[in-house]
Amino acid sequence: MFDDLTSRRIFLQRGLTMLAVGATVPTFLDQTVMAMANPLDTPLTQRASGKDGKVLVVVQLAGGNDGLNTVIPYGDDAYQKARLTLAMGGKDVLKVNDYLGLHPNLAALKKIFDDGKMSIIQGVGYPNPNRSHFRSTDIWTSG
Protein backbone atom coordinates (compact mmCIF):
# COMPACT_ATOMS: atom_id res chain seq x y z
CA MET A 1 0.00 0.00 0.00
CA PHE A 2 2.83 2.39 0.78
CA ASP A 3 5.05 1.38 -2.13
CA ASP A 4 4.07 4.28 -4.35
CA LEU A 5 4.25 7.34 -2.13
CA THR A 6 5.85 9.39 -4.86
CA SER A 7 4.26 12.69 -4.03
CA ARG A 8 3.21 14.63 -0.99
CA ARG A 9 -0.38 14.63 -2.29
CA ILE A 10 -0.54 10.79 -2.46
CA PHE A 11 1.08 10.53 0.95
CA LEU A 12 -1.47 12.92 2.49
CA GLN A 13 -4.44 11.25 0.77
CA ARG A 14 -3.46 7.79 1.94
CA GLY A 15 -2.44 9.03 5.36
CA LEU A 16 -5.78 10.75 5.89
CA THR A 17 -7.61 7.63 4.71
CA MET A 18 -5.73 5.51 7.24
CA LEU A 19 -6.45 8.08 9.94
CA ALA A 20 -10.18 8.01 9.10
CA VAL A 21 -10.26 4.19 9.10
CA GLY A 22 -8.36 4.07 12.38
CA ALA A 23 -10.90 6.33 14.04
CA THR A 24 -13.72 3.94 13.15
CA VAL A 25 -12.18 0.82 14.72
CA PRO A 26 -14.45 -0.35 17.55
CA THR A 27 -12.96 0.29 20.98
CA PHE A 28 -13.09 -3.35 22.06
CA LEU A 29 -11.15 -4.40 18.95
CA ASP A 30 -8.58 -1.67 19.46
CA GLN A 31 -8.10 -2.66 23.12
CA THR A 32 -7.82 -6.34 22.20
CA VAL A 33 -5.12 -5.67 19.61
CA MET A 34 -3.22 -3.45 22.03
CA ALA A 35 -3.45 -6.05 24.82
CA MET A 36 -2.25 -8.81 22.51
CA ALA A 37 0.74 -6.70 21.47
CA ASN A 38 1.83 -6.02 25.05
CA PRO A 39 3.39 -9.02 26.84
CA LEU A 40 2.47 -7.51 30.21
CA ASP A 41 -1.21 -7.80 29.27
CA THR A 42 -1.05 -11.55 28.56
CA PRO A 43 -3.14 -12.36 31.66
CA LEU A 44 -5.89 -10.18 30.20
CA THR A 45 -5.99 -12.03 26.89
CA GLN A 46 -5.17 -15.60 27.99
CA ARG A 47 -7.36 -17.49 30.30
CA ALA A 48 -6.97 -20.97 31.68
CA SER A 49 -6.30 -23.39 28.84
CA GLY A 50 -8.47 -26.19 30.15
CA LYS A 51 -5.64 -28.65 29.61
CA ASP A 52 -6.27 -30.06 33.07
CA GLY A 53 -10.02 -30.31 32.62
CA LYS A 54 -12.74 -30.59 30.04
CA VAL A 55 -13.36 -27.85 27.50
CA LEU A 56 -16.71 -27.23 25.84
CA VAL A 57 -16.48 -25.96 22.28
CA VAL A 58 -19.76 -25.09 20.63
CA VAL A 59 -19.72 -24.85 16.87
CA GLN A 60 -22.56 -22.84 15.37
CA LEU A 61 -22.80 -23.26 11.65
CA ALA A 62 -25.01 -20.46 10.39
CA GLY A 63 -25.86 -19.31 6.93
CA GLY A 64 -25.76 -21.89 4.18
CA ASN A 65 -24.99 -24.91 6.34
CA ASP A 66 -27.36 -27.82 5.88
CA GLY A 67 -27.46 -29.45 9.30
CA LEU A 68 -29.05 -32.65 7.98
CA ASN A 69 -26.14 -33.13 5.61
CA THR A 70 -23.55 -32.30 8.27
CA VAL A 71 -24.68 -34.82 10.89
CA ILE A 72 -26.60 -37.15 8.61
CA PRO A 73 -29.39 -39.48 9.79
CA TYR A 74 -28.65 -41.86 6.94
CA GLY A 75 -30.45 -44.70 8.73
CA ASP A 76 -33.75 -42.80 8.86
CA ASP A 77 -36.20 -43.72 6.10
CA ALA A 78 -37.99 -40.36 6.48
CA TYR A 79 -34.70 -38.56 5.75
CA GLN A 80 -34.12 -40.65 2.65
CA LYS A 81 -37.70 -40.11 1.37
CA ALA A 82 -37.79 -36.37 2.10
CA ARG A 83 -34.46 -35.68 0.37
CA LEU A 84 -34.58 -37.67 -2.80
CA THR A 85 -31.77 -35.69 -4.47
CA LEU A 86 -29.84 -34.50 -1.40
CA ALA A 87 -29.86 -37.55 0.86
CA MET A 88 -26.60 -39.37 1.54
CA GLY A 89 -26.60 -43.09 2.12
CA GLY A 90 -24.56 -45.29 4.41
CA LYS A 91 -21.90 -45.86 1.77
CA ASP A 92 -21.32 -42.09 1.43
CA VAL A 93 -21.05 -40.98 5.06
CA LEU A 94 -18.43 -41.30 7.75
CA LYS A 95 -20.41 -43.58 10.05
CA VAL A 96 -20.81 -42.60 13.68
CA ASN A 97 -23.19 -45.49 14.34
CA ASP A 98 -25.85 -47.48 12.47
CA TYR A 99 -28.09 -44.42 12.23
CA LEU A 100 -25.87 -41.30 12.06
CA GLY A 101 -22.89 -40.31 9.96
CA LEU A 102 -20.82 -37.23 9.27
CA HIS A 103 -20.44 -35.60 5.88
CA PRO A 104 -17.44 -37.04 3.99
CA ASN A 105 -15.64 -33.67 4.17
CA LEU A 106 -15.55 -33.90 7.98
CA ALA A 107 -12.87 -36.59 8.26
CA ALA A 108 -10.85 -34.47 10.71
CA LEU A 109 -13.85 -34.17 13.05
CA LYS A 110 -14.54 -37.90 12.68
CA LYS A 111 -11.02 -38.64 13.90
CA ILE A 112 -11.56 -36.42 16.94
CA PHE A 113 -14.86 -38.23 17.54
CA ASP A 114 -13.20 -41.64 17.20
CA ASP A 115 -10.50 -40.56 19.68
CA GLY A 116 -13.24 -39.89 22.24
CA LYS A 117 -12.58 -36.15 22.30
CA MET A 118 -15.84 -35.05 20.69
CA SER A 119 -19.52 -35.76 21.16
CA ILE A 120 -22.49 -35.09 18.95
CA ILE A 121 -25.54 -33.74 20.75
CA GLN A 122 -28.72 -33.54 18.74
CA GLY A 123 -32.17 -32.22 19.50
CA VAL A 124 -30.98 -29.33 21.62
CA GLY A 125 -33.59 -26.68 22.19
CA TYR A 126 -35.03 -24.27 24.70
CA PRO A 127 -38.41 -24.09 26.40
CA ASN A 128 -41.37 -22.46 24.66
CA PRO A 129 -39.82 -21.56 21.29
CA ASN A 130 -41.79 -18.93 19.39
CA ARG A 131 -40.75 -20.21 15.95
CA SER A 132 -39.02 -16.96 15.01
CA HIS A 133 -35.63 -17.64 13.44
CA PHE A 134 -34.36 -14.21 14.50
CA ARG A 135 -35.53 -14.45 18.12
CA SER A 136 -34.18 -17.99 18.36
CA THR A 137 -30.81 -16.81 17.08
CA ASP A 138 -30.82 -14.04 19.72
CA ILE A 139 -31.58 -16.56 22.46
CA TRP A 140 -28.89 -19.02 21.33
CA THR A 141 -26.16 -16.44 20.94
CA SER A 142 -26.88 -14.83 24.31
CA GLY A 143 -26.62 -18.19 26.11
- Residues 63-73 have a mean pLDDT of 83
Domain spans in the chain, listed from the N-terminal domain onward:
8-45, 57-116
Name the band, by pLDDT with cuts 50, 70 and 90, for residue 128: confident
pLDDT grade, residue 135 (50/70/90)? confident
For residue 95, give the DSSP letter.
Answer: E
Identify the DSSP state of 53: S
Highest mean pLDDT range out of 3-12, 75-84, 122-131? 75-84
Whether the pLDDT of residue 139 is over 80: the answer is: yes
Whether the pLDDT of residue 79 is over 80: the answer is yes
Mention every residue, 6+ apart, whose C-beta is less than 8 A from residue 66: 86
Contact status, residue 76 vs residue 98, Cβ threshold 8 Å? no
In this prediction, what percent of the chain has a pLDDT beyond 70?
64
| Torsion angle of the four alpha carbons 137, 138, 140, 143, in this order, in degrees rounded to the nearest 10 | 170
